[in-house]
Copies of this chain bind each other. A is one copy, B any other.
């Protein structure tokens, strides 16, 4: 990794920041972005913070044709005492490299990536919104840039980071959602790319999601690609169940994303003396537990929402109403604790936050 000195080109034409902190997710971007280049012969080189603006690519750039790309999603939070915190960012860079391995993309230096991210956020500190529930969404991503239509790994890449202030995911408090259990379309399968955060995993779900929305569902619960039987993920989140006092989440099997919120909840609950059972769980098993009156809470977990309670599941015409469409006690407690740690309201005894200094 040569030529690794970070250069900063400051934007002299700064944008106005959103007046309210309730901007739609992912549509407003800050004044600067980070760019790092890769060539096979040089490795990663030329790290730069530059004014946010369009990127210019050859129409034959591989990203447009063969989808060799990975990304991450994370957030920076403002604390009441004016600090800016990141939540376990090293886990995101670790996962980015895991995703890259699956997509035959060269690995980043995780330590340097975090250093440069910190430099970018420091420069954009005023963009981290302050209203409770808001944050600065961080999108690191790598695209393949060779102008070459031969199917195969690119020799050149761009790693970039863009930042977007985001409003509260639940401006009116946690709202349980209605979810369709998808039994036709498949998100991922063993041996595929399900465990990687790569573009193709997302658009492949649009058709199922559109169908589900037509029937009044907010999103879909994905079942495994082999038997359409085992529970995998909800929308682009991991999923947890509280059944007869036991907390259960599907085990990481190669087709489920290794969520950092998922991991944090398992660790957090451990400190509370609650064991999370990671196992293969069938949708039948869930409905049987429901019929027996044992399904107490269901919630999705991810960076965007932290916790998204599920109030209703619809599977082949069978409706499951969870906790009377209300948020469960444990869901709320996990949400309050994790967001509390993220925003510095609760002491971070687990060493999860990294201050941007």
Copies in the complex: 2
Minimum CB distance partner of A71 in chain B: B65
Which of B65, B139, B184, B191 contacts A199 (CB under 8 A)?
B65
Which of B200, B201, B203 contacts A104 (CB under 8 A)?
B203
| Interface residues on chain A, number (Cβ under 8 Å) | 70
Contact A153 B206 (CB under 8 A): yes
Residues of B within 8 A of A68 (CB): 202-203, 206
Question: Which segment of A9-17, A141-149, A264-272, A341-349 sits at the interface?
Answer: A141-149
- Contact of A59 with B by CB under 8 A: yes
Contact A67 B149 (CB under 8 A): no
Residues of B within 8 A of A186 (CB): 189-192
Contact B200 A193 (CB under 8 A): yes
Q: Which interface residue of A33, A64, A143, A209 has the most chain B CB atoms within 10 A? A: A64
Minimum CB distance partner of A187 in chain B: B192
- Contact of A150 with B by CB under 8 A: yes
Q: CB-CB contacts of A144-166 with B at 8 A, as 1s and 0s? A: 10011111110000001010100
- Contact of A132 with B by CB under 8 A: no
Contact B199 A199 (CB under 8 A): yes
Q: Known contacts A192-B225, A199-B199, A226-B226; decide if A149 and B25 are in contact (CB<8 Å).
A: yes
- Contact of A287 with B by CB under 8 A: no
Contact B203 A67 (CB under 8 A): yes
Q: A66-B199, A103-B207 are in contact. List 20 more A-B contacts (CB 8 A).
A: A25-B150, A26-B149, A27-B60, A29-B59, A29-B147, A52-B59, A54-B57, A55-B56, A57-B57, A64-B69, A67-B200, A67-B203, A68-B206, A103-B204, A104-B203, A152-B209, A186-B189, A189-B192, A192-B204, A200-B201
